[in-house]
Structures are given as C-alpha cells and as structure tokens.
Structure 1
Amino acid sequence: MEMETVGRARKLDIQELEEIRNDAYKNARVYKEKTKAFHDKMITRKQFSIGQKVLLYDSTLKIFAVEIQSEETRKCFKVNGQQLKPFYENFQMHTIEEIVLEELKI
C-alpha cells in the first residue's frame, strides 16, 4: 500500500469520527433542553401573601428562596419555597362511614 493513500483514508476516517462526535454533542444538548423544558413546565408556582400561615417541611435545599417569619420567635429566615404548603386553619375533616362486609357462605 502506498503511504499517501493510507494517510488520506485515515484523515477521512478521523474527520468522519469528529462529525459523529459533534452530532452526538448536539443531540445530547437538544435532549437536555427538551427534558429541562418538560421538567420546568411541571413545576407548580405557589403564591403566598404576607401574613399567610404556611407549613414548612424539613428543607435543606435553597433553590427558590422565600423569606418567612416564625410566629413564636418573630425571627426571619429564608427557606426553599418548594417546601412550603398553605396552612388552612378552619379545615374540617369529614367523618367516614364504615361498612362491615360479611363473608359469603358457599
């Protein structure tokens, strides 16, 4: 084999691999953008007003910072807004009627 021919073929193979790699990067970027858009669309935005009571779950993440004030200590602190839920003071639970089923005798 001639060295020149082999060298050209090798350069073409390397260029083809580079194109494949670039296409893979583009496809991965498009996939990540679509996944992020879907994820962001599913996040519910919560609206809280000043003075409203909320329930706070144990929060370690500080993604969507919201400043709240403790009713007992009057201290202000920032928490993850996704961990807050509205607190309903006058929420009444409904009584559930219990029905006892008898076994079928065959």
Structure 2
Amino acid sequence: MAGQNRLMELNKLDEFRNEAYENARIYKENSKAFHDKLILRKDFQPGDKVLLFNSRLKLFPGKLKSRWPGPYTVVASLPYGAVQVHSKKMGHFKVNGQRLKHYLEDPVEKCKFVVILEPL
C-alpha cells in the first residue's frame, strides 16, 4: 500500500512539473509577443541623416551632455536590422538599427529681423 501511494505521489509531482513547464512556456510566448509589439520598425534609406544612441555614457555623463551624437549619413541597410553609417571622423561602420533615430533638419531658415522700439 505504501509503495502504491509513493508511485501516486511521484506521478502527481510529474504532472505538477509538466504543468509548470507549460505555464512557463505560455508566459514566455506572451512576454515575447508583448515585447515585439512595442518594438518600432524603422526603415533607413541610403542618404538619410540619423543620430546614434551612445549607451556608454554612464560613468561621468555630464549634466547636459547629449546621448545622441551625430548626425551620421546612412550608407546601406543590411539584413537583420543592421545599418551601415558614415561619419567624417570614423568613416564607415555598422550599427544596430534600434540604436538609431532619424535626424530631422530644420527645413525653415531662421529669419532674423530687428524691431526698433521708439519711446512714446
């Protein structure tokens, strides 16, 4: 009788373990789907201006130092989200497309004018 109870308990443990594995698999699938939904797909065309995120700015960041140096010029879009960019200082190099964002130049020239105020 004790041997049968022991086998029943072992079977229950196996069932609990299998159910835990299944729940973990479902949780991971849902987490991945949620994460993938939040990722923004960015398309970069050759000639686009981009800014590169500087993730190494942690030790002494400086209060007003920007984490987005640039602009860089896109040379080519490579498979799996990689992008080849060009800078005058460093030449051509490859980066992950998730570390880039489009650089929007100011299309309007700033008008400067002087208003002379005369006392009444």
Matched residue type, 2:33 = A
Q: What 5-or-longer segments of structure 2 have no aligned partner?
A: 57-79, 109-120
Superposition map of 1:44-59 within 5 A: 44-59=40-55
Superposition map of 1:1-106 within 5 A: 5-59=1-55, 64-70=81-87, 72-73=88-89, 75-90=91-106
Matched residue type, 2:91 = K
Distance 1:81 1:48 in 2: 8
Matched residue type, 1:51 = G
- Mark the structure with the bigger radius of gyration: 1
Distance 1:25 1:19 in 2: 10
Q: Give the TM-score of the pair, scaled to structure 2.
A: 0.64
Matched residue type, 2:86 = Q
Distance 1:58 1:73 in 2: 16
Q: Give the TM-score of the pair, scaled to structure 1.
A: 0.72
Paired residues, number: 85
- Would the aligned equivalents of 1:67 and 1:78 in 2 still touch at CA under 8 Å? yes
- Larger helix percent: 1
Q: Name the % identity.
A: 49
Q: 4+ runs of 1 displaced by more than 4 Å?
A: none
> How big is the alpha-carbon RMSD for the aligned residues of Structure 1 and Structure 2?
2.0
Deviation track 1:19-57 (CA, whole Å, cap 9, x = no partner) reads 011000001100110110111011100111101110111
Deviation track 1:41-74 (CA, whole Å, cap 9, x = no partner) reads 11100111101110111157xx84221111x147
Distance 1:19 1:30 in 2: 17
- Larger strand percent: 2
